[in-house]
Amino acid sequence: MKKNEIEIILKELEILFKILEPKLMRLSLKYQKTIWDAEDAVSETMVQVLSKVELFEGKSTLSTWVYSICINKNLEILRKKKTYFEHLKKYFYFNIVQSNDVDNEYSLLNKDFQKALEKLDEDEKNVFLLSVYEELPQKEIAEILNMTVSNVKVKLHRGRKKLMVTLGDYLR
């Protein structure tokens, strides 16, 4: 890529970050458990985008490229933390559930929904979050996740079906 092309892309990225930052934050909050981890994911996404801007080939839109980096950054953070915090997670989960027996129905549904989301395989979860929460078109989701549109449809259908089975008690 030529120097002037990189400068143009950097200016576009600055504008894009202002627009996308709240969306990237919302997406990251769906993956991460705390606002701090979500902020870290967004920050690391921006750093990686800026440091790898010369690798952008223009095969997709700039926002699609940034979304895919954000998802990968969130998954990377989760993988790093998973092994270290797995035992702590179980400990805190059981203590919180036992100490909050008087939780209201909405809070229980939210917890159950988060657990149900965690049970989906990685692709199903990614497709579901991008489709339902980010309201992205299936074609853009396919580009972000590097899969076909028909595969996106299948993953979305399977993910919804699994969520309906898992959350069946709330649907009756």
| Number of domains into which the chain is organized | 2
Residues 96 and 108 in one domain: no
b/e code 28-54 from CB counts within 10 Å (16+ = b): bbbbbeeeebbebbbebbbebbeeebe
Task: Report CA-CA distances (Å) from 142 to 9, 11, 40, 47, 136.
Answer: 23, 26, 25, 24, 10
Q: Is pLDDT above 60 for 81? A: yes
On whether the CB atoms of residues 159 and 125 are closer than 8 A, the answer is yes
On whether the CB atoms of residues 28 and 41 are closer than 8 A, the answer is yes
- Pick from 102, 131, 157: which residue ends a domain? 102
Residues 20 and 68 in one domain: yes
Domain enclosing residue 147, as ranges: 104-172
Which tens digit of pLDDT belongs to each residue from 93-131?
Answer: 444 444 454 455 556 667 888 888 889 999 999 999 888
Residues 97 and 110 in one domain: no
Residues 84 and 132 in one domain: no
Residues 8 and 68 in one domain: yes
Which tens digit of pLDDT belongs to each residue from 42-76?
Answer: 999 999 998 888 888 888 888 899 999 999 999 88
